Amino acid sequence: MSDPLGMKHDLIALRHALHRQPELSGAEAGTAALITDALRGTAPDRLVTGLGGHGVAAVYDSGQPGPTVMFRAELDALPIPDASGVAHASQRPGLGHLCGHDGHMAILMGLAGTRPARGRMVLLFQPAEETGAGARAVLADPAFGVLRPDYAFALHNMPGLPLGAVAVAAGPASCASVGWRIALTGREAHAAFPETGQSPAPMLARLVRHLASLPANSATLCHMNMGAPAFGIAPGRAVAHVTLRSVTDDGLARLEADLAAWCAENAGGLALDISRHDHFNATLNDPEAAAHVDAARNTLGIPQAEFAFPMRPSEDFGAFSAQAKCALFFLGAGTDHPALHDPAYDFPDALIAPGQAMFRQVLAQITG
């Protein structure tokens, strides 16, 4: 299989360019344009833009019957200031590629121009992964119909694992999660006569205790706000942001149902409004797809990393598992590397080559 982009372009320079100009979920127009321009130079058989928002997909068709194999990277960055101190640091205040999506895109670009021996290869540059909305938006886009894969693969760099080592397993790979905004509305009163109003404070106190009683790591209280910043007003309104997490989609649904029932029972006379945000499906690795990843690791002589599956953070790649045999694997970013979403994080350029090699080997195994 040829590698025209890897020969003609400096993938590290591409990553650094992406890192300097991060864009948030749903606003990745500039990133998508840069990727689209680079892909055009690799003569794809089909180039789809505006997919599920700003998504971009390139198809390389062998012209022979066979499976469609999709590899996915993410376009979006985070609303976190870049404090890495590197020469290619973000030039956009308050924004940074602090999860490594710039590196994931560079890895995928290294495959551009490759045509498998049979079937098709699809490179998907997906929008809005950080909010959980991107994968579902891509799947709902009618343009995705002609791209629909038989197999789909993605990687995520993982600080804490040895540099370049690979971790993969069948079954749960990342957790399902959802953010709840719980709004409580009562009635303000004079601080000297709080009994004449209806304060959300007792309900908030009960909520904090209840969340702490749930199974470990299943609920995180992320934000609370109550009342006005004054001393003469007993509060009448409050908002809490809670993240719920489970290993499976069914487990998350049960957790949500139980918490909804608890809130209704404990709201008293308060008006209760619950809205859902940043919903991520669990990622469940198909056994056959995961076996292909592990076989590629073994063939390439890449060390196997020990990892406690599933990854507790969520990854919206799981939405594709309803349509294809999927596998998400983790590529070690170094045992002492800053954590994902840390302001000091920067994707290790040394991972571009092994990440690209893993995807190439998986493609060769499936398409011959």
Closest to 356 measured CA to CA, from 5, 68, 50 = 5
Cα–Cα dist 64/133, whole Å: 34
DSSP string, 340-354: TT-TT----GGGHHH
Percentage of the chain exceeding pLDDT 90: 96
Grade residue 3 by pLDDT with cuts at 50, 70 and 90: very low
Cα–Cα dist 261/272, whole Å: 12
Grade residue 1 by pLDDT with cuts at 50, 70 and 90: very low
pTM: 0.92
Between strands 237-246 and 283-285, the pairing is unpaired
Q: For the segment 125-173, what is each residue's pLDDT rounded down to a tens digit?
A: 999 999 999 999 999 999 999 999 999 999 999 999 999 999 999 999 9
Cα–Cα dist 201/270, whole Å: 11
Grade residue 321 by pLDDT with cuts at 50, 70 and 90: confident
Helices 201-213 and 249-266, packing angle to 10 deg = 150
DSSP string, 160-219: TSPTT-EE--SEEEE-EEEEEEEEEE-B-EETT-GGGSB-SHHHHHHHHHHHHHSSTTSE
The predicted structure's pLDDT at residue 344: 98
Cα–Cα dist 125/129, whole Å: 10
Grade residue 256 by pLDDT with cuts at 50, 70 and 90: very high
Cα–Cα dist 205/185, whole Å: 15
Structure tokens belonging to residue 320: 């594709």
Kindly report the backbone phi and psi dihedral angles of residue 103, in degrees, each rounded to the nearest multiple of 5, phi listed first.
-70, -40
Cα–Cα dist 212/216, whole Å: 8
Q: For the segment 84-94, what is each residue's pLDDT rounded down to a tens digit?
A: 999 999 999 99
Stretch 268-287: mean pLDDT: 96
Structure tokens belonging to residue 169: 């397993």
Grade residue 322 by pLDDT with cuts at 50, 70 and 90: confident
